[in-house]
Amino acid sequence: MSARLLPQFADVPADYDFVIIGAGPAGIAAAAEAHAQGARYVLLEATAGVANTIRGYQKGKYVMAEPAHLPLISSVPFSVGTREQVLGNWEKAAAGLEVRYGARMSRLAHDPTTGTHTVMTESGDVYTARCVVLSAGVQGNLRKLGVPGESLPRVQYTLADPDEINGETVVVVGGGDAGVENAIALIGRNTVYLINRDEEFARCKEGNIKLIEKSKASGQLLVKVSTNTLSVREDAESGRMVYAARGPLGEEEIACDRIIARLGTLSPRKDLESYGIAYPGPAPDATPLLSERYESSVPGLFVLGALSGCPLIKQAMNQGREVVAYACGKPVEPADEGLLREVVKPWRPRNPVGETLALIAERVPLFQPLGRLQLREVLLESRVQVLRAGEVVFRQNDYTNSFYSIVEGEVEALVDEQRVGTLQTGMYFGEIGLISGRRRTATIRAIKPTVVIETSRRTILKLIASVDGVRKNIDENFVRRALALFLGGALTPADIDVLLADGYEVRRYQPHQDLFREGDPGDGLYLIRRGSVTVTRKVEGRPRVLAYLAAGNYVGEMSLINKEPRAATVTATVMTEVLVVSGKGVDEVRARNAKLAAELGAKTMRALGDSAGLSQLSSARRRKLDFLLGQGLGEATDMLLIDEARCIHCNQCENACAATHDGVSRLDRVKGPSFEELHVPTACRHCENPHCMKECPPDAIKRLASGEVVINDSCIGCGNCQSNCPYGVIQLAPREPQPQPGLLMSLLFGVGGMARHAVKGDVQKKAVKCDMCRSLPGGAACVRACPTGAAMRLSAEAAVRSITRR
């Protein structure tokens, strides 16, 4: 049997139908399909064996078959197993294929006149082909730390055999799968730190997230998030390495024996462009322009695997089969086609999936930096909604956090029922709530029949973390909308262009870090897009709290107006992100925009008036406010407080909670800190950016439109949320309801909340936490059950008003 290629390839003069570059998973799958189709092919591998990237994995590494929901359509076997098992299976598969080992490609050229591709190896061998399948991977371009000391001898960027490292302190830098797997492999015999610059491990496979939390909970792995590397050096006195970083608690140093940095790879873009392959734009993380069948801008040159923006093994293997079958005129349906067909069915039920995806990519600029495969992945984690005219997507003050892209139609944004703008096809909305974690700032309503793509928070955060073009796009749109929103609609689009003429800067501050200090020169307007701050001023030599401001506010305008040094110190209460806009642009716009000048002036006068009153707070009230901020008030949307002066310790708050939740109380009245008469029991604060939502494998934790953070029945009991919560308010409880104490026992001994202590270890459990008694019409049972009114649930703003009010 011999293959019959498609007409555009069949008439190309060449020795081979396919020359396949790289014997990784995509290359082996492509060669296996070419063999099955009877094509004349050769598989060129630069090294001495198949799957060099997999071979470079650490010894005994567990290779996962992700994505789990995606079927494998390649004939080459692949399933979950160790590195050695996977390699063994692939070596057997390759034994029957036409493979040339030690054949490193040195040149690739295409003759546009004849269509012939010419491949030359470093040894001088020349191959001509009708089609070239490029699946060489990206592992030859490792990304380095980018700080002083990055090339010291004991800083390494790969790990071959973790068993060779024993009794050492090792710092592993990297929040992706490679870094996590290296760290996990080293625990037990070493002291291991895992450093992640992001807040969560958004780029990791679900299985690795579970391993992180299990190892962290057991104390075997020391995890530091939101931590950036500053430098690496050798200590002359001790002979050890010193790793310096800046994290949530400020700068710190770790004495260690070695540093392993797994920071991913750099795309060999220059090489690919030299072959004639086109890219959609200049972004350094962009992937090549490819067709639905992975054909590049060079006819007959196909790009697969990591080079196409698809690093997962199963997807790469499916690509290999699809490409060869397509070129041979026997196309197979992509493995995810059926799943995507269901996603887009509400909008285009009878159109081909590929056509619909192309239309989405064309209409939504945000998705243009994505490769076609990346877009397919995003759609698999999304939902297409068809809206009627007048239908509301979400309402102002809702706490939902999905992200929406408009692919057809138009919506309006309403603030206090007044239209403040419209959004058309290609635009998106929902990023302010997603990033800040606070309530929706506007109501979004369809003006006419409209189609939107609703994408989960976790998927968008993953895109922001991994695709620079997406991050920049969302950052720029956020700052434009934030300026218009935070400044009360006083700005025109032209004004915003002026404000941003000198650009803007995204700054992140750790808890207790100053944004600026009293007496500093004014350098710009600070828009708080995430977190919260306190504003303090020295009065009679002592700092006095003037204000507490959460995301959605701005600071720094007073110095810009009066041209004097900063009149106060602004300090982050929790991890806080701000957008800093140049003061020069503010001056220019104020000079020509009377409305903006009036808005800033009015805010300044309000601030001065507020500070005059707040600065007279008694020292006891100031300490009380500082106490609450130290207990997480700065990120809370609803905090349970108990007035100990009224509390009679009857425990009815706990009993009522247990009675409402199958015998398991979601609060612990006794535990928790106190200051004077104010007590903060162990109970959920429903944080703006819930720590518990990070790294939840089944995505079981949701924020409802009314603000409650709840855990649904898809919870698998992994304990990640329990480990991530800094306030200890989540527990693992039996899935089946537990026997509740009788009324007499509750009255005599107050044991209603004791169900949490009586759970056997072998019972299947799920995570539980306060859900604000959302199923009860009267609200939180703990508050309603308190006979003296000692229990209160307050928002952060209400708590501040309660403390500061005379």
Please compute the mean of the pLDDT values over residues 518-539 and round it to a whole number: 83
Q: Do residues 557 and 622 touch, judged by C-beta distance below 8 A? A: no
Does residue 414 sit within a domain?
yes
- 748 with 685, same domain: the answer is yes
417-468 residue pLDDT tens: 988 889 999 999 998 877 777 778 889 999 999 999 999 887 888 788 767 7
Instruction: Give the length of the chain.
Output: 806
Written as one string, the DSSP assignment of 64-79 is: ---STTSPP-SSS---
**Nearest Cα residue to 321 out of 6, 51, 77, 12:** 77
Whether residue 676 sits in one domain with residue 728: yes
Among the residue ranges 379-383, 440-444, 729-733, 798-802, the one predicted with the least confidence is 798-802
Phi-psi region of 435 (alpha: psi -120 to 50; beta: other; left: phi over 0): alpha
Kindly tell me if the per-residue pLDDT of 114 is higher than 90. yes
Q: What's residue 351's pLDDT?
A: 93
Q: For the purposes of burial, counting CB atoms within 10 Å of the CB of 591, is it exposed (0-12), middle (13-18) or buried (19 or more)? A: exposed
User: With contact defined as beta carbons under 8 Å apart, do 521 and 568 qualify?
Assistant: no
Residue 141's pLDDT is what?
A: 67
Residue 210's SS3 state is helix
Confidence tier at 285 by pLDDT (50, 70, 90) = low
| pLDDT(357) > 60 | yes
Question: CA 3, CA 1: separation in Å to the nearest integer?
Answer: 7
Q: What pLDDT sits at residue 758?
A: 41
Q: Which of 346, 343, 394 shows the shortest CA–CA distance to 357?
A: 343
Helix, strand or coil, per DSSP, at residue 555: strand
What pLDDT is stored for residue 757 in this prediction? 41
Q: How far apart are CA 546 and CA 614, in angstroms?
A: 5
CB-CB contact of 675 with 629 (8 Å): no
Tell me which of 439, 456, 486 is where a domain ends.
Answer: 486
588 residue type, one letter:
E
Query: Best-predicted range by mean pLDDT among 40-54, 198-212, 579-593?
Result: 40-54
**Residues 600-627: tens digit of each pLDDT:** 656 554 544 444 444 455 666 767 777 8
Q: Examine the fold and report which residue of 581, 616, 651 is the final residue of a domain before the chain moves on.
A: 616
What's at 716, amino acid-wise? Answer: I
d(CA 584, CA 606): 24
CA nearest 203: which of 285, 299, 303?
Answer: 285
Element (H, E) at 301: strand 301-303
pLDDT of res. 614:
46
pLDDT band at 222 (very low <50, low <70, confident <90, very high): very high
Furthest C-alpha separation in the chain: 94
- Confirm whether 493 is domain-assigned: no
Nearest to 666 by CA among 615, 577, 739, 728: 728
Which CATH number is 600's domain given?
2.60.120.10
- Nearest alpha carbon to residue 538 among 516, 569, 573, 566: 569
In this predicted structure, the answer to whether residue 556 has a pLDDT above a threshold of 90 is no
Q: Please say whether the dihedral angle defined by the alpha carbons of residues 29, 32, 37 and 38, taken in this order, is positive or negative.
A: positive
Model confidence at 740: pLDDT above 60: no
| CATH code of the domain containing 79 | 3.50.50.60
Residue 801 has pLDDT above 80, yes or no: no
pLDDT for res 750: 45
Contact 788, 693 (CB under 8 A): no
Average pLDDT, the chain: 83
328 and 374 share one domain: no
Identify the pLDDT of residue 282.
74
Are 612 and 628 in a shared domain?
no
Residue 287 lies in a domain: yes
Chain centroid offset of residue 243 CA = 25
Residue 497 lies in a domain: no
Task: Indicate if 398 and 250 belong to the same structural domain.
Answer: no
State the Cα–Cα distance between residues 573 and 512, nearest whole angstrom.
6
Q: Evaluate whether 589 touches 562 at the Cβ level (below 8 Å).
A: no
Q: What is the DSSP letter of 212?
A: H
**The pLDDT value given to residue 440:** 84
User: Following DSSP, what letter does each residue of 604-635 receive, concatenated?
Assistant: HHHHHHHHHHHTT--HHHHHHHHHHHHTTGGG
Please give the pLDDT value at position 596: 66
Q: What is the mean pLDDT of residues 641-668?
A: 87
DSSP letter string, 265-298: B---HHHHHHTT---SSS-TT------TT-B-SS
Residue 148 lies in a domain: no
Q: Could you tell me if residue 491 is inside a domain?
A: no
* DSSP helix/strand/coil, 92: helix
- Residues 454, 379: Cα–Cα separation, whole Å: 9
Residue 706: what pLDDT? 67
Q: Is the pLDDT of residue 156 over 90?
A: yes
| Residues 789, 728 share a domain | yes
Beta-bridge partners for 110: 117
Q: Which of 600, 616, 632 is the last residue of a domain?
A: 616
Q: Does residue 572 fall inside a structural domain?
A: yes
Give the lowest-confidence range in 54-58, 788-792, 802-806: 802-806
* Rounded Cα gap, residues 373 and 371, in angstroms: 5
For residues 618 and 196, which has the higher predicted lDDT (pLDDT)?
196
pLDDT digits 0-9 by tens, 769-788? 888 887 777 778 898 889 99
Are 721 and 652 contained in the same domain?
Answer: yes
Does residue 550 share a domain with residue 530?
yes
Q: Which is higher by pLDDT, 776 or 762? A: 776
Domain check: are 637 and 785 in the same one?
yes
359-414 per-position pLDDT tens digit: 999 999 999 888 777 888 899 889 999 999 999 999 988 878 889 999 999 999 99
Question: Over the stretch 170-192, which tens digit does the pLDDT of each residue have?
Answer: 999 998 888 998 999 899 899 99
- Is residue 217 predicted with pLDDT exceeding 90? no
Distance between alpha carbon 320 and the CA centroid of its chain, in Å? 29
Cα separation of 545 and 629, whole Å? 11
pLDDT at 39: 96
Pick from 116, 47, 121: nearest CA to 87: 47
Nearest residue to 5 via CA among 288, 236, 258, 325: 325
Name the residue range of residue 167's domain.
Answer: 155-261
Which helix H or strand E contains 798, and what residues bound it? helix 796-804
331-353 pLDDT per residue, tens: 888 888 889 999 999 999 999 99
Which is it for strands 418-424 and 428-429: parallel, antiparallel or unpaired?
unpaired
Q: Beta strand 169-173 with 542-550: parallel, antiparallel or unpaired?
A: unpaired
How far apart are the C-alpha atoms of 406 and 422, rounded to whole Å?
12
What global pTM score does this model have? 0.61
Chain centroid to CA 355: 29
Q: Residue 444's beta-bridge partner residues?
A: 394, 413
CB neighbour list of residue 426: distance below 8 Å, 6 or more residues apart: 363, 364, 365, 406, 407
Give the other-Cβ count within 10 Å of 72's Cβ.
Answer: 18
Tell me what the mean pLDDT of segment 720-729 comes to. 80
Q: Same domain, yes or no, for 254 and 271?
A: no
pLDDT of 667 over the 90 cut: no
Q: Tell me the percentage of the chain whose pLDDT exceeds 90.
A: 36
- For helices 206-217 and 177-186, the axis angle rounded to 10 degrees is 40
- Assess if residue 22 is contained within a domain: yes
> Do 92 and 70 sit in the same domain of this protein?
yes
In this structure, what are the phi and psi dihedrals at residue 92, rounded to the nearest 5 degrees? -65, -40
Domain count, the chain: 5
Please name the helix (run of DSSP H) or strand (run of DSSP E) that holds residue 315, with its range, or none. Answer: helix 313-327
Task: Looking at the structure, tell me whether residues 390 and 529 fall in a common domain.
Answer: no
Model confidence over 481-511: pLDDT tens digits?
877 776 656 677 888 888 888 778 888 887 7
